[in-house]
């Protein structure tokens, strides 16, 4: 096991995870809001924000899918050591991490109408993340918000499935935003 694998976790897990979760929760509760995260240093090129999100949300109880471009032994070892999340195919995943192109969007669990919560949450690494572009409306948004989404039609289709559907967490550097299925994208 390489030194790199052991490094980069939370220094004080209960406190670091508490701060990180509050930021992620704020992002999920207020779609379009960009928060800043710190506390984890995953192996490059994985962003700090994605690393923090994985450490905060994933553990042995959450099967994880890695996009092909992000799936390498070094990153797997890091996940295994710090989260213990088992690696699975897209259909079985509770969480997924990857760049937009690397994630098979049709392959993830959408939840059932009785249990819409049994769906995947996708952590998507983006080259940029700003409050510009697509218009967001819905729960958590006072009037409207803007977010630089990688696609529009896909998110419209996803919202149309409500209450089923995927939830998205976008990361870029140390910044993070979220787009739950409840958000209407225009």
Instruction: Return the number of the residue (57 or 93) whose C-beta is nearest other proteins.
Output: 57
Phi, psi values for residue 149, rounded to 5°: -80, 150
Phi, psi values for residue 156, rounded to 5°: -65, -45
Binding of residue 11 to other proteins (CB under 8 A): no
Element (DSSP H or E) covering residue 18: helix 13-29
Q: Where are the alpha helices (DSSP H) in 33-152?
A: 48-57, 73-82
> At CA 73, angle to CA 68 and CA 74, rounded to 5?
110
Binding of residue 18 to other proteins (CB under 8 A): yes
Alpha-carbon span 37 to 174, nearest angstrom: 5
Alpha-carbon span 70 to 122, nearest angstrom: 14
- Among 4, 7, 17, 174, contact with other proteins (rule: CB under 8 A): 17
Q: Is 129 helix (H, G, I), strand (E, B) or coil?
A: coil
Binding of residue 6 to other proteins (CB under 8 A): no
> How many residues in the shown chain lie near other proteins by CB under 8 A?
39
Binding mask 49-88 vs other proteins (x if CB under 8 A, - otherwise)? -------xxxx-xx--------------------------
- Among 5, 64, 147, 167, contact with other proteins (rule: CB under 8 A): 167
Binding of residue 121 to other proteins (CB under 8 A): yes
Binding piece for other proteins, criterion CB under 8 A, among 40-48, 98-106, 133-141, 149-157: 133-141
Instruction: Return the number of the residue (25 or 69) whose C-beta is nearest other proteins.
Output: 25
Please give the torsion angle defined by the CA atoms of residues 124, 125, 130 and 136, in that order, rounded to the nearest 10 degrees.
-10
Provide the binding-site residues for other proteins, judged by CB under 8 A.
Answer: 13-15, 17-19, 21-22, 24-26, 28-30, 56-59, 61-62, 94, 112-117, 121, 138-142, 162-163, 167, 180-182
């Amino acid at each position: 096991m390489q030194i790199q694998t052991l490094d980069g976790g939370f220094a004080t897990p209960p406190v670091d995870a508490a701060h990180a979760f509050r930021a992620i929760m704020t992002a999920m509760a207020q779609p379009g809001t960009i928060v800043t995260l710190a506390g984890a240093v995953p192996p490059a090129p994985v962003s700090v924000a994605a690393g923090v999100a994985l450490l905060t949300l994933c553990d042995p109880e959450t099967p994880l899918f890695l996009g092909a471009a992000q799936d390498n032994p070094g990153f797997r070892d890091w996940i295994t050591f710090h989260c213990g999340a088992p690696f699975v195919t897209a259909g079985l995943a509770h969480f997924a991490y990857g760049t937009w192109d690397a994630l098979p969007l049709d392959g993830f669990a959408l939840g059932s109408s009785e249990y819409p919560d049994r769906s995947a949450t996708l952590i998507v690494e983006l080259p940029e993340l700003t409050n510009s572009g697509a218009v967001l409306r819905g729960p958590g948004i006072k009037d409207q918000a803007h977010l630089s989404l990688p696609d529009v039609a896909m998110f419209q289709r996803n919202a149309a499935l409500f209450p089923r559907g995927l939830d998205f967490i976008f990361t870029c550097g140390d910044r993070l935003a979220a787009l739950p299925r409840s958000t209407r994208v225009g």
